[in-house]
Amino acid sequence: MGAVAHTRDVFYAVADPTRREIIRLLAEADELPLNRLTPHFPMGRTAVSKHLTILKEAGLVSERKVGRETRNRLNSAPLKELQDWLSYYEKFWKHNLVRLEQFLMEEQE
């Protein structure tokens, strides 16, 4: 295996429930430092920091220094890649829902 890539796949980044929760928390707040994120999880500061690093590598989180504190902020732009990918499959969901509705109507007759 080679060195860690400079960027990570957005799909990989959001695949983990802890990282999805970090995204949710950051979406609800303007910015959060690590010490305000950590209490939301049953793990230590180092583990939460590693999850933040993966989100940063995927471009989903940016940080800025305020004095000695590093504050994390959500960058939602990379989530558009997920939305675009899912929207392609939406036509299949809609088609199947229409077919289910037709089936249910026929069963009632």
Convert the pLDDT of each residue in 14-53 to its tens digit. 999 999 999 999 999 989 999 999 999 999 999 999 999 9
21 and 66 both lie in a single domain: yes
57 and 12 both lie in a single domain: yes
- What number of helices (H) and strands (E) belong to the chain? 5, 3
Q: Residues near 25 by Cβ (< 8 Å), separated by ≥ 6?
A: 32, 37, 40
11 and 41 both lie in a single domain: yes
The percent of residues in the chain predicted with pLDDT above 90, rounded, is 65
8 A C-beta contact, residue 51 and residue 16: yes
CA distances from 91 to 81, 100, 101 (A): 17, 14, 15
What average pLDDT does this structure show over 80-94?
85
pLDDT of residue 7 exceeding 80? no
Reported confidence tier of residue 90, pLDDT bands at 50, 70, 90: confident
Number of domains in the chain: 2
Taking the CB of residue 32, how many other CB atoms lie within 10 A of it? 20
User: pTM of the predicted model, to two decimals?
Assistant: 0.77
Amino acid at 51: H
pLDDT for the residue 4: 44
6 and 32 both lie in a single domain: yes
44 and 85 both lie in a single domain: no
82 and 64 both lie in a single domain: no
